[in-house]
Structure 1
Amino acid sequence: MKDLLYLVHRIPFPPNKGDKIRSFNLLKHLAGRFRVHLGSFVDDPHDWRYQDEVAAYCESLCLLPLNPRRARLRSVAGLLSGVPLTVPYYADRRMALWVSETLERGVDHALVFSAAMAQYLPREQEQLHTVIDFCDVDSDKWRQYAQGHRFPMNWVYRREARTLLGFERRLASACDASVFVSEQEAKLFRELAPESSARVHAIDNGVDTDYFSPERDYPDPYKGKGAALVFTGAMDYWANVDAVTWFAKEVFPRVRAARSDARFVIVGARPTPEVRRLEEQPGVHVTGAVQDVRPYLAHARAAVAPLRIARGVQNKVLEAMAMGRPVVATPQALDGLRDCPEMRWLVAEAPADLAKLCLQTLEDGDSAGHGAKGRACVLAHYSWAEHMDRLMALLDAPTAPEPDVLRAGAGG
């Protein structure tokens, strides 16, 4: 069994949000093929409790604390340099030393999860077969953020979009293969980085359809009170905050005017004060962190995904589909999903149109079978095993990278 260095910006457990779902499933499959040496950061003190569960998959493990406030200060200092602010955010000399010592043990394969962790790869890496999983085109996400903010943040976000794209292109040129979470993301990056287009691949996310199954009995968290529309996701993530705030203010009042029993339930950890204030509106409820999201999906009339800024595949949409729930969504929330011919998506962009679709699901109980068709789509196209086999093939493929263009500094 070969040794592999796996670098992840955030501890890949528990798999309760988008990046952790993907990074954990990668870890599970890697552990069956390689002796895994995992280097990662812990930015939530509660996650230290999962150290032993992660270690069970690893030959060696380096977990370092990351204080978000101090990391942001490092990022601000990065404005004086030409590097993207994402790089100094994750810079740590201890991680650089651990990576160097690990590679000296003869490790010759590497998988990097997210661009920022590539700063720890050596300048000379001809003997290190490297695949980078960008997941999304993050530079384009920052471009979208800039469009939704005023000065000075729009300037900061435009700078990050520009410098991060340059960094992403250098990484793609240096690595043996670059991976994205959907064909749409891969296509966009091929257009932005044509010099590396031949080594850019799409590896979809998957869903554990046994776990997210509508066939199980779940307790009703709504206690039979009202007809629930549910949103699930990390509620300190700006795109999610924007989505639920816009939906609560622009869409849901139209629904509530026609159905006084309608409820909009926002399920997810770390809700911001802005999200908490939404509970002042009639029919809106914010749960905070929950032990199990499945009951909230199982007993909702529909899941809503009113994202206006989105990159890649939305796990929240896949999980709702796996649970057999109809999904009312904006086009942006579905951009990364495969086209399932049998699906007729409940998609709209204007508030009045979204409200109409929500009311339709509340009234007819999904008589059109959107939920069943969504689960069928997931079963057909979103198997973790199939997608991970394709990634393992990339890790095994012998190709030569262009040397000496990776390192952006790993101080801090």
Structure 2
Amino acid sequence: MNILMLSSTFPYPPTQGGTQVRTFNLLKYLSQRHAITLVTQREAHVTDTEIAELQHWVDRLVIFERPPDLGSQKGMLQKLQRLNLFLQDGVPPNVLNRYSPEMQNWIDNFVEAGKCDVITCEHSVNEIYVRPHFQKQVRTLVNVHSSIYCTCRNQLETGTSTNPVRDKVNLPLLRRYEQNYCSKFSAIAVTTQEDKIQLQQFNPHKEITVIPNGVDLESFPYRSNDPGGHRLIFIGAMDNLANIDAVCFFCNEVLPKIQARYSDATFEIVGSRPAPEVLALQAKPGVIVTGKVPSIAEYLHKATVCVVPMRTGFGIKNKTLEAMAAGVPIVASDRGLEGLAVDGANVLLTALRANHPPEYVNAISHLFTNAQLREELSRNGRQLVEAEFTWDIAGRRYEQLCLEN
């Protein structure tokens, strides 16, 4: 089967963020039995070495330069122009930011020449390159990493929006956009049941399949021992707005209360491209910002507890799965545990749930003082990942979805 994969995000190395991790690992699985043509964009930080390494995993790699960021134009006139385009065309600015006419022309010619059997859009922002008539010629699939409508609504509901006025205006537009673009595809993949329910409301007759994220178990081996102590960790790409909000919330609202009980408690923020707001957190006692590290697993193995204090952002969280695979006990919010059965009736206790500062303090304190509970969560977390959340499992489901008629 000839598969045309579209990803405006350069999906390598698969440690940069959730989009790269999911895209690369599904690509890697499909490439074992199918011919992959990957069309992507190069950003300034992408190196020639990374391009050469990605080339090994595909039959053909086609790269276009990333278009200039329209969002860098900060004036009121430019903002009004972007809103007007959204109102008229129904396409959000973050999607238009990635649109390349040259890339579109290449894709059009490739499809019209009959060179592919399936088109996959890796992340919904790539839907813009799929013409409505394509699905009459080939199977078209959109891999929705998370619903942007749900994310915007959640940010407004939780008070985590960086621009509430803008987002209140955008919300009905995002609903219309998500409903419209889904109609172009033969099939839709989502990462959680929650996203499936939302998109099914928009498209009740569409084929929507839940394919969760996975973990590379070789990259995240199970820890050899429990280090004890009072070391907290958060992992993730630190230029991501949801991650920035999570660590700022934790440092400001939770960590001081933890340190009032455990004066030696530390909080390591591990991940690439830390934003200025994240770097500024180093001024707080016990906070360490590492930036990009060679092995996230090594840092996880040294931690007592991994916290995932997400207040926004839909979809299953790679960071949660990776910490579970590494055997680190987890305290996380509902958003951080989305798509995972970790507690409740007839479910092995696999993580502790917290959404408010007192809940975080109690859960973390409980783990700090209870080695048996740490061991229980560690063991159950690894077992859950091995049974349900590997990239081989996700890849098989994705391959099946590509093959269906």
TM over 0.5: yes
Asked if the contact 2:230–2:304 (Cα under 8 Å) also holds between the matched residues in 1, the reply is yes
Correspondence 1:342 to 2:348: yes
Correspondence 1:22 to 2:22: yes
The residue type equivalent to 1:183 in the other structure is: Q
Matches within 5 A, 1:211-230: 211-215=219-223, 227-230=230-233
The residue type equivalent to 1:279 in the other structure is: Q
Write the deviation string for residues 319-371 of structure 1: whole angstroms up to 9, x where unpaired.
00001110011122112224571125311222122112112222223545111
Q: Calculate the TM-score normalised by the size of structure 1.
A: 0.88
**1:67 Cα offset (Å):** 5.6
Distance 1:344 1:389, change over 3 A: closer
Equivalenced residue count is 390
Equivalent residue of 1:13, what SS?
coil
Distance 1:45 1:217, change over 3 A: farther
Among 128, 135, 138, the alignment partner of 1:128 is 138
Q: Percent identity?
A: 28
Distance 1:173 1:354 in 2: 42
Among 249, 252, 255, the alignment partner of 2:255 is 252
Equivalent residue of 2:180, what SS?
helix
Asked if the contact 2:131–2:184 (Cα under 8 Å) also holds between the matched residues in 1, the reply is no
Among 114, 133, 139, the alignment partner of 2:149 is 139
Asked if the contact 1:311–1:336 (Cα under 8 Å) also holds between the matched residues in 2, the reply is no
Matches within 5 A, 1:326-341: 326-339=329-342, 341=347
Distance 1:366 1:151 in 2: 39
Write the deviation string for residues 10-54 of structure 1: whole angstroms up to 9, x where unpaired.
011111121111000111122123221111123342444311122
Equivalent residue of 1:25, what SS?
helix
User: 2:175 is matched with which residue?
Assistant: 165
User: 1:35 is matched with which residue?
Assistant: 35
Distance 2:223 2:179 in 1: 45
Correspondence 1:373 to 2:380: yes
Distance 1:296 1:188, change over 3 A: same
* Larger displacement relative to structure 2 (28-37 or 273-282): 28-37
The residue type equivalent to 2:292 in the other structure is: A
User: 1:55 is matched with which residue?
Assistant: 55
Distance 1:214 1:151, change over 3 A: closer
User: 1:289 is matched with which residue?
Assistant: 292
C-alpha RMSD over aligned residues: 2.5
* Larger displacement relative to structure 2 (141-150 or 300-309): 141-150
Q: Name stretches of at least 5 consecutive residues in structure 2 with no aligned partner.
A: none
* Larger displacement relative to structure 2 (265-274 or 166-175): 166-175
* Larger displacement relative to structure 2 (315-324 or 43-52): 43-52
Write the deviation string for residues 277-329 of structure 1: whole angstroms up to 9, x where unpaired.
11111111111111111111001001001111131111101000001110011
Matches within 5 A, 1:86-235: 86-106=94-114, 107-125=116-134, 126-147=136-157, 153-191=163-201, 193-196=202-205, 198-215=206-223, 227-235=230-238
The residue type equivalent to 2:359 in the other structure is: D
Distance 1:379 1:15 in 2: 20
Distance 1:305 1:152, change over 3 A: closer
Distance 2:195 2:137 in 1: 29
Q: Calculate the TM-score normalised by the size of structure 2.
A: 0.89
Equivalent residue of 1:45, what SS?
coil
Correspondence 1:78 to 2:87: no
**1:217 Cα offset (Å):** 9.2
Asked if the contact 1:71–1:88 (Cα under 8 Å) also holds between the matched residues in 2, the reply is no
Distance 1:350 1:19, change over 3 A: same
Asked if the contact 1:179–1:201 (Cα under 8 Å) also holds between the matched residues in 2, the reply is yes
Asked if the contact 1:147–1:154 (Cα under 8 Å) also holds between the matched residues in 2, the reply is no
Distance 1:45 1:180, change over 3 A: same
* Larger displacement relative to structure 2 (74-83 or 387-396): 74-83
**1:387 Cα offset (Å):** 2.1
Among 350, 358, 379, the alignment partner of 2:364 is 358
Matches within 5 A, 1:294-309: 294-309=297-312
**1:147 Cα offset (Å):** 4.3
Distance 1:71 1:109, change over 3 A: farther
* Larger displacement relative to structure 2 (87-96 or 366-375): 366-375
Equivalent residue of 2:336, what SS?
helix
Distance 2:104 2:250 in 1: 43
The residue type equivalent to 1:39 in the other structure is: V
Write the deviation string for residues 145-201 of structure 1: whole angstroms up to 9, x where unpaired.
34466999223223443323322222222211111011222122213x1433x4111
